[in-house]
Amino acid sequence: MPTYIKENLTGNIMLAQDNMTSAYAQSWLTDKGYTLTDFTIGEDTWDSVDTIIQAQTEQAKSYSDHRASSYPSIPDQLDYIYHNGIEKWKTDMILPVKEKYPKGAE
């Protein structure tokens, strides 16, 4: 059964491994400059830990995937720049996507 270190604020698992003692986990956090009260050290099955890590991975991908798929194709963007100029391209094609999917948004 793995021991894990989970960030309290986000619920993200930062480290999970078999045979990790609580003392090692605390040492790992303090060596990296983290505050121990911001984290939970616990144990669970690998299935549960893997499920949380997979959700974290999907969540991390979603921002860039959503943004990338929302932009028009490169040929369409270049055509728009040619006919309308860079500033109009930024305001009409780029800014709406950046506003819809801002960096750091969940």
pLDDT in tens, the chain (106 residues): 899 999 998 888 989 999 999 999 999 999 999 999 999 999 999 999 999 888 888 777 777 788 888 899 999 999 999 999 999 999 999 999 999 888 875 5
Q: Which of 58, 61, 74 is nearest to 101 (CA)?
A: 61
Task: Give the total number of structural domains in the chain.
Answer: 2
Residue whose C-alpha is closest to residue 62's, from 103, 3, 26 = 103
Q: Please check whether residues 50 and 80 belong to one and the same domain.
A: no
- Tell whether 86 and 41 lie within a shared domain: no
Question: Which domain, by its residues, includes 54?
Answer: 1-62
Instruction: Supply the pLDDT for residue 56.
Output: 84
Indicate whether 43 and 89 sit together in one domain. Answer: no
43 and 94: one domain? no
pLDDT for position 105: 59
Q: Does one domain contain both 1 and 26?
A: yes
pLDDT at res. 58: 74
Interacting residues of 44 by C-beta distance below 8 A, sequence separation 6+: 1, 2, 4
Do 81 and 58 share a structural domain? no
pLDDT of residue 77: 96
